[in-house]
A and B are shown apart, each in its own frame.
Chain A
Amino acid sequence: MNETTLNTLQNRAEKIKQGGAPKYHEKLDEQNKLFVRRRLELLFDEDFQLEDGLFANGMDESLPADGVVTAIGQVNGQTVCVMANDSTVKAGSWGARTVEKIIRIQETAEKMQVPLIYLVDSAGARITDQIEMFPGRRGAGRIFYNQVKLSGQIPQVCILFGPSAAGGAYIPAFCDVVIMVDKNASMYLGSPRMAEMVIGEKVSLEEMGGARMHCSISGCGDVLAPDEESAIASARRYLSYFPANYEQRPPRLECQEVASDRKKISEIVPDNQNVPFDMLELIGSLVDENSFFEMKQLFAKELITGFARIDGQPIGIIANQSKVKGGVLFIDSADKAARFITLCDAFRIPLLFLADVPGFMIGTQTEKAGMIRHGAKMIAAMSEATVPKISVIVRKAYGAGLYAMAGPAFEPDCCLALPTAQIAVMGPEAAVNAVYSNKIAQLEGVEKADFVKEKREEYQRNIDIYRLASELIIDGIVQPDHLRDELMGRLKAYEGKDIPFSRRRHSVYPV
């Protein structure tokens, strides 16, 4: 071939790989953002990647690659597919080829059965191209349809670097995990300008749809990252707990012993049921060193959800945090748990429940907000999970709290108790008041105090954990400082568990 032919290809490809005009690259710098191809370099193990559709919309020089890069590369040695918006090209907006490229990389990920990562930084649809990209069979709606179809089949990860507006906001919504870059990422259906025009509200973008808001209040975000490098590192770390698809097992790594300067579990858990302690500290002393990766750390903090490893085996932890709101289950915490349990169960990640829960929140405020139907989501998700399911009663497990935390009736592979465990419909104080309220009202002074004290002690004896073990309600009582060894053995023993849950098309899911 002659030199010109070869040079033309090289020049054209190079030009496209530079993305949009220099002024838009300057804008990236101002916003502390990285160029899309730099993001891909950081995401993949190696620099080299396969790319489809580089010349998309190539007849129009102002739209390099039509504003999206679709690539195949490796993360932690695992092949993955990626779609990445280029915000230097018309603010990363979607035209007809942009949408077609996104749909095709989804189809590729489906055929290959490998994880799919969405690097989102897009202003939304190009209104000028709406007939070509919005309503049709392979219009933008198909992207969301495909996401729903792929959900639970392959991991779908979203990193949000910039806006994700209007319909585009549903890309993160249908992913398994959303990692958001603080200050830059945002999700909203209508912009602040539109909110002012349509409903008369004056509000900033950060307040209405910013990363911090979504990670702490709405629950749409899972991880809040201080910058892009850290967001990408989080995505790589997240994927290290996951298999390539639902048919494979999560990758086991080498065991990392717990650091010797960590406190013993027996030193962490207080005997007094009503005094809070830090469950995160207990988790740190239980799982492989530095293996805990928390999901929704800033949202509904009374319940902790996160991935970890024990003896190198990935697990999902659901734990009550008595330090926040007493560890009581609320609407948001029930949602958070349901979502996390479903995620782990989809990808064969065993579940560990650490219970220290006074129950579901009561009172007008939460009843009006639908506490019961939200609580039902958590109980449904936990019931349906067929992965190895281990329940550890750390301290109290009262009322429906026991049920929600995989209590004995919900077929955990085992329900273990620490010696501090207390299982009951309600705590001694509340129970004595409920049963003897008339009698207590009649008594006064010392007589009253003595009566209450005696009844509480009687109640305490009745719910004694050794009595529950003797009735085979729990499967064992474990020394706190042997819990890690016990769980290592249990996780190994239950490895081969493979059971169906129920015969039907699907459950009528509580929402």
Chain B
Amino acid sequence: MKQVQASMAGTVWKVLVAVGDQVEVGQDVVILESMKMEIPVQAEAAGVVKEIKIEEGSYVGDGEAMIELE
């Protein structure tokens, strides 16, 4: 099981993928809003989106799992 984790603490601004989407390594999948900056978060592994564990507007801590890939 591969995960996309939050690169820093912040609020989820946009989720760019949906369950079932194929994602590639380095693809932006979530944009966080933190310290008044847009923080794009990339997938570190390729895979199909199995579960999205967060929603837009929710707070995530550093390293928190946001998306499960398979």
A interface with B by C-beta (< 8 Å): 274-276, 322, 324-328, 330, 358-359, 361-363, 365-366, 426-427, 429-430
Contact = CB atoms under 8 A, between A and B. Distances in A.
Interface string B11-33: 00000000000000000000000
B37 A358 contact: yes
Which of B9, B35, B39, B62 has the most chain A CB atoms inside 10 A of its CB? Answer: B35
A365 B35 contact: no
A428 to B, nearest CB: 9
A276 B37 contact: yes
Nearest to A431: B36
A432 to B, nearest CB: 11
A328 B37 contact: yes
A325 B39 contact: yes
A325 B8 CA distance: 7
A475 to B, nearest CB: 27
Listed residue (B36, B38, B39) with the most chain A CB atoms within 10 angstroms of its CB = B36
Contacts of A358: 35-37
Contacts of A359: 35
B41 to A, nearest CB: 10
Contacts of B57: none
24 contacts: A274-B36, A276-B37, A276-B39, A276-B40, A322-B37, A324-B7, A325-B8, A325-B34, A326-B8, A326-B34, A326-B37, A326-B38, A326-B39, A358-B35, A358-B36, A361-B8, A361-B9, A361-B35, A362-B35, A365-B62, A426-B36, A427-B36, A429-B36, A430-B36
Nearest to B62: A365
Given A274-B38, A275-B38, A427-B36, 18 more contacts: A276-B37, A276-B40, A324-B7, A325-B8, A326-B39, A327-B37, A328-B8, A328-B37, A330-B8, A358-B37, A361-B8, A361-B9, A362-B35, A363-B9, A365-B62, A426-B36, A429-B36, A430-B36
Contacts of A324: 7
A274 B8 CA distance: 16
A276 B7 CA distance: 15
Contacts of B37: 274, 276, 322, 326-328, 358
Contacts of B62: 365
Interface of B: 7-9, 34-40, 61-62
Nearest to A302: B8
A29 to B, nearest CB: 33
B9 A276 contact: no
Contacts of B40: 276
Contacts of B36: 274, 358, 426-427, 429-430
B63 to A, nearest CB: 9
Given A276-B40, A363-B9, A326 B61 contact: no
A328 B36 CA distance: 10
Contacts of A328: 8, 34-35, 37
A291 B9 CA distance: 35
B37 to A, nearest CB: 3
A212 B8 CA distance: 21
B7 A325 contact: yes
B61 A365 contact: yes
Q: Which residue among B7, B37, B39 has the maximum number of chain A CB atoms within 10 Å of its CB?
A: B37
Contacts of A426: 36
Contacts of B8: 325-326, 328, 330, 361
Contacts of A325: 7-8, 34, 39
Contacts of B35: 326, 328, 358-359, 361-362
A430 B61 CA distance: 20
Contacts of A327: 37
Closest 4 CB pairs of A and B: A326-B37, A358-B35, A363-B9, A325-B8
Nearest to B38: A274
Given A361-B8, A363-B9, A276 B38 contact: yes
A222 to B, nearest CB: 22
A374 to B, nearest CB: 15
A361 B6 CA distance: 15
A181 B50 CA distance: 37
A210 B9 CA distance: 28
Contacts of A275: 38
Contacts of A427: 36
Nearest to A369: B62
Contacts of B61: 365
B9 A365 contact: yes
A361 B35 CA distance: 7
A490 to B, nearest CB: 30
A424 to B, nearest CB: 11
Nearest to A360: B35
A336 to B, nearest CB: 16
A359 B38 CA distance: 14
A426 B35 CA distance: 10
